[in-house]
């Protein structure tokens, strides 16, 4: 049986607020479903869903999202303006560049190029 990626689900404390952050970052619309579930469905990308869980984030993500950005410093600055936290400096290696960032609930993601 073959499968396809339908959505990526983030556990979080405030699904609506986190969906609004990601919607602004991805130039999409946040949709609230019930009181414990929200999502963002950007064109040409998998849907990102946000589900309320009672426990706070306690460890580093085992999976993270990479977002392609032509101008990583500008994308990082916009994410920070929206409530994210940049971690460390912009890294350049043989594959290109990347910047590690935490969303407002501490979920790690990266802006990448190359």
Model pLDDT for residues 41-100, shown as the tens digit of each residue: 998 899 999 999 988 778 877 889 999 999 999 999 999 999 999 999 999 999 899 999
pTM for the full model? 0.89
pLDDT at 63 (0 to 100): 86
Cα(40)–Cα(22) distance, integer angstroms = 7
> Scanning the structure block, which residue is given the tokens 């991805």?
26
Helix (H, G, I), strand (E, B) or coil at 113: strand
Is a pLDDT exceeding 80 seen at residue 1?
Answer: no
- pLDDT tens across 18-38, in order? 999 999 999 999 999 987 999
9, 31, 95, 99 from 46: Cα distances, Å: 10, 15, 24, 21
pLDDT at 9 (0 to 100): 94
pLDDT at 70 (0 to 100): 94
> Scanning the structure block, which residue is given the tokens 């073959």?
2
């Amino acid at each position: 049986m073959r499968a396809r990626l339908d959505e990526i689900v983030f556990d979080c404390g405030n699904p609506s607020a986190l969906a609004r952050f990601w919607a602004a970052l991805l130039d999409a619309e946040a949709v609230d479903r019930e009181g414990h579930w929200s999502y963002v469905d950007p064109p040409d990308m998998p849907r990102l869903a946000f589900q309320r869980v009672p426990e706070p984030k306690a460890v580093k993500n085992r999976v993270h999202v990479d977002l392609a950005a032509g101008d990583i410093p500008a994308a990082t600055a916009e994410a920070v303006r929206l409530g994210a936290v940049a971690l460390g400096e912009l890294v350049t290696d043989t594959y290109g560049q990347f910047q590690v960032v935490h969303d407002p609930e501490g979920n790690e993601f990266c802006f990448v190029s190359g």
